[in-house]
Amino acid sequence: MSQLAEHKRRRIDELTARTAEGGGVSLFRDAGRRLLRNPTAIVGATIILLFLVIAIFAPLVAPHDPVQRFPELTKDLTVDNIPGPTAGHPFGSDPLGRDFMSRMIYGARQTMFVGVLATLIGLLFGVLFGAVAGAAGGWIDVVIMRFTDVMLALPSLLLAITLVALARQSTQWTVIVAVAIVNVPIFARLLRGSMLAQRESDHVLAARALGVKRRDIVTRHMLPNSLTAVIVQATLTFAVAILDAAALSFLGLGDPDINRAEWGLMLGVDGVRYFEVRPELAYFPALAIILVALGFTLLGEGMREALDPKNRR
């Protein structure tokens, strides 16, 4: 009859269709669905995706080779004059007469590579140690946890600097490994905490009552239920890792290769040195770092909301 009735009927059809669909909606698929409806996460993911595309397709996106020095830029180049934007070089020149825009674009590649890899390595070992500590308990747990305590007692950047200093020659990999190691105890502690909670949970007790093997209890029952917190932490760590790697480069502890385009390095060396001549040399890399870090933070925030079991339907 009325529009209202029509509307109601459609709504009911919709609901029954959804119920009839049935089937498995796993925690992670369900969370993914909620993630897509979360504005914070969408904004974060868009920023990251944008930078990721730029990073992956850098050779296609960049107008020039990032290490090539252009005669039209070096012509008037002095310590007090670094050419600004021109038709062929929209961001102008860097202090060595290279195309600044191309260097920024290739910088996305370097910087994200370092951040992502450092996070993944840290995640891998953190999960390993955390799972072992949480599952084994006893003295193994005590040893691992005291070790993480010592690492966490030091400010992370100071620890990273120490680790880089231990390697006699600094390369990109020393930075990645140092930043990864700094993050291992954070992941380990987090996972251990949720593993301990899982160990006392009813479904683990139920699994034990069924005679499930210890290994399977850890891998099938405790670990999958403990990972949510760690996954969220990982997205937040991407941001921190990028900032840490940038900080190490800024302090001159990164790869000394002057051809390498990395935002931290660009900000720390050229940006600082020529700030009064061409402040963009500092602004652009700084802005890029902040944006990517923000993107990961927003995504992490959104994921925390989406994975929260209280928000499940």
Partner 1 sequence: MPLLDVRDLSVVFQRDNKPFTAVDGVSFTVEPGQAVGLVGESGCGKSVTSLAIMGLLPRRGNKVTGEVLFDDTDLLKLRPQELRDRRGRDIGMIFQDPLSSLNPVIPLGLQVAEVLERHQGKKRQEALREARKLLDAVGIPDPTRRLKEFPHQLSGGMRQRALIAIALACKPRLLIADEPTTALDVTIQAQILTLLKELVEGSGTALIMITHDLGVVAGLCDTVNVLYAGKVVERAARHDLFGAPRHPYTHGLLQSVPRLDVERGGRLHQIRGSVNDNIPWSEGCAFAPRCDRVIDACIGETVPLEPAFRGGALRCTNPVPQEVPA
Least distance between partner 1 and beta carbon 232 (Å): 16
Do residues 178 and 163 touch, judged by C-beta distance below 8 A? Answer: yes
Alpha-carbon span 43 to 131, nearest angstrom: 33
Residue 22 touches partner 1, criterion: CB under 8 A: yes
Q: Measured from the CB atom, is 65 or 305 closer to partner 1?
A: 305
State the Cα angle at 50 between 125 and 94, rounded to 5°.
95
Least distance between partner 1 and beta carbon 13 (Å): 20
State the Cα angle at 134 between 128 and 136, rounded to 5°.
95
Residue 18 touches partner 1, criterion: CB under 8 A: no
Residue 208 touches partner 1, criterion: CB under 8 A: yes
Residue 136 touches partner 1, criterion: CB under 8 A: no
Q: Measured from the CB atom, is 30 or 65 closer to partner 1?
A: 30
Residue appearing with tokens 């990721």 = 52
* Region binding partner 1 by CB under 8 A among candidate stretches 78-86, 166-174, 198-206, 244-252: 198-206
Reading the block at residue 180, the tokens are 């990864």
Residue 71 touches partner 1, criterion: CB under 8 A: no
Count of beta carbons in the 10 Å neighbourhood of residue 245: 30
Binding residue for partner 1 (CB under 8 A) from 11, 18, 33, 220?
220
Do residues 58 and 109 touch, judged by C-beta distance below 8 A? Answer: yes
Size of interface with partner 1, in residues (CB under 8 A) = 26
Least distance between partner 1 and beta carbon 205 (Å): 6
Q: Which of 198, 158, 207 is nearest to 179 (CA)?
A: 158
Cα dihedral 199/201/207/211 (nearest 10): 50
* Region binding partner 1 by CB under 8 A among candidate stretches 89-97, 118-126, 145-153, 203-211: 203-211
Residue 309 touches partner 1, criterion: CB under 8 A: yes
What does the buried/exposed string (b/e) look like for 75-100 if buried means 16 or more CB atoms within 10 Å of the residue's CB? eebeeeebbeeeeebebbbbbebbbb
What does the buried/exposed string (b/e) look like for 288-307 if buried means 16 or more CB atoms within 10 Å of the residue's CB? bbeebbebbbbbbbbbbbbb
Q: Would you give the binding string for partner 1 spanning residues 27-46, x where CB under 8 A is met? A: xx------------------
In this structure, which amino acid lies at residue 58?
A
* Region binding partner 1 by CB under 8 A among candidate stretches 87-95, 179-187, 202-210, 287-295: 202-210
Q: Measured from the CB atom, is 11 or 220 closer to partner 1?
A: 220
Residue 213 touches partner 1, criterion: CB under 8 A: yes
Q: Which residues bind partner 1 (CB under 8 A)?
A: 22-28, 201-203, 205-213, 216, 220-221, 224-225, 309, 312
